[in-house]
Structure 1
Amino acid sequence: MNDPLPQTQMESPLDMILGASVATQIVLIVLFLFSVLSLWVIISKVRHFQAVRRQGDRFLGKMEDAGNLTEASEALIGLPESPYTRLFRGGLSFFAELSPGALFGSSQASGLSLTQLEALRLVMDKVEAEEIDELAHGLNWLAIIGSVSPLLGLMGTVIGIMNTFLGITAARSTNISAVAPGVAEALITTVAGLAVAIPSVIAYNHFVSRLNLVRGEFEGFASEFIGTLAKERHV
């Protein structure tokens, strides 16, 4: 009859973690650091997107209340700095350079040519891209954590199972009571990897959805801005 491997009685997952091999504990520490980083990114991006949402609602409300481009530019003065105001200010400043005095109803102001109109749209597209990049800052960490954590967990599991089999070979025992603790310890890293990855992936997809919504509002406002120029005969 084969002799069982000497083993420590494991009463809880915490006992397994504390009694795990150095390699397993290193994997768990890395996953813990990933979870802290993921939580920090999620909290900061939730606050960021909430602030942008409030700023966007206020900005779009002011723009809807404005009767013309001049009133809209005056309303811009009382609005707090936000991605929306920077987009509008970028387009407005470039328009003022192309057609000096147009905002103040100067009779000498000329309408924009097709080339100038395309240049205006490119300027607004550039501002939009910069604001979207700023909003997306940090989301790459959620993508990295979401994809790497399960692989780290799997690596920890493989290492744990290898150590278990090496222990079985050394003790020349195949008793299930000797194998079970090592396998259970190894599987902890897989569970930890999934526990870190799942919230990160969910949060990443949520923020990408919010980002696309903001991008759509930017593009819609830029088109409306150019449409207003045409309506007021600035084009």
Structure 2
Amino acid sequence: MSTDLSMLHLILGASPVVQLVMLLLVALSLLSWTLIFHKWKKLGAAQRDAKDFEQQFWSGGELAALYQQVAAREQDNEGMADIFEAGFKEYSRLRKQPQVEGGAMVEGAQRAMRVALSREEDRLEAGLSFLATVGSTSPYIGLFGTVWGIMNAFRSLGNVHQATLAMVAPGIAEALIATAMGLFAAIPAVIAYNRFSNDVERLANRYDNFLEEFAALLHRQSLTARKD
């Protein structure tokens, strides 16, 4: 008598605990892939926006005109545009106060840009902790299902006088599926986490470099305005 060792039959014939583990791993995998595609689109858009804004910023136009253009957007600014808006807004506010010196204006703008930079870093890093959690815990969740399934397989042999491979093979096979599903959930999550972490770090460094360059530009403007 042949034993059906098809994947579907093994999953449907698994114990409730192993099935629950498999269901959890499928849910984690689906959530992980959804987040991966979402982060891939968001980080790609952030890189393109940073490139476009840098070209616009260094095109030689008036900063006030660029600020008006950025502030007039219907959607909330993100990335480099948000940092620029926060810095120039604070600089313009302090510039209207006669008692504030040029250095204080630049320092105020830098503080505002640092807050915006921190906000952007938090936005870029959103979801990465979930990918790290899936990548680190999924193999152990799958291993738990495997251990539980193997325990059930060997425990069932206690009721028979002569054990054969055909008796224990289905139980071990269904248990190993849990480990395979754990790896299937973990491997893409780990790869995506490493890739996205690198992209976020590069973007954060790019934002920070822009912040310093913009602060230096504001400092030169404050010196010129004081001489005038």
Whether the 8 Å contact between 1:156 and 1:186 is mirrored in structure 2 is yes
- What is the letter of the counterpart of residue 200 of structure 2? L
* Distance in 2 (alpha carbons) for counterparts of 1:98 and 1:77: 18
- Shift in CA distance, 78/58, structure 1 to aligned 2, threshold 3 Å: farther
Matched-pair identity in %: 32
Deviation for aligned residue 1:183: 1.2
- Shift in CA distance, 77/117, structure 1 to aligned 2, threshold 3 Å: closer
In the other structure, the counterpart of 1:112 is: 102
**Superposition RMSD in Å:** 2.4
- 1:219 matched to 2:219? The reply is no
Matching residue within 14, 19, 22 for 1:25: 19
| Count of aligned pairs | 222
* Distance in 1 (alpha carbons) for counterparts of 2:223 and 2:92: 11
In the other structure, the counterpart of 2:84 is: 88
Normalising by structure 1, report the TM-score: 0.84
* Distance in 2 (alpha carbons) for counterparts of 1:127 and 1:49: 17
Matching residue within 95, 106, 112 for 1:123: 112
Normalising by structure 2, report the TM-score: 0.87
- What is the letter of the counterpart of residue 143 of structure 1? A
Deviation for aligned residue 1:201: 0.9
In the other structure, the counterpart of 2:220 is: 231
Deviation for aligned residue 1:74: 5.2
- What is the letter of the counterpart of residue 24 of structure 1? V
* Distance in 1 (alpha carbons) for counterparts of 2:70 and 2:23: 49
1:142-178 per-position Cα deviation (integer Å, ceiling 9, x unaligned): 1121112111100000100110111112224342332
In the other structure, the counterpart of 1:148 is: 137
Matching residue within 54, 60, 64 for 1:60: 54
Correspondences of 1:148-227 after superposition (within 5 Å): 148-227=137-216
Deviation for aligned residue 1:67: 5.0
- What is the letter of the counterpart of residue 92 of structure 1? F
1:23-71 per-position Cα deviation (integer Å, ceiling 9, x unaligned): 1111111111111111111111111112212211110110110256445
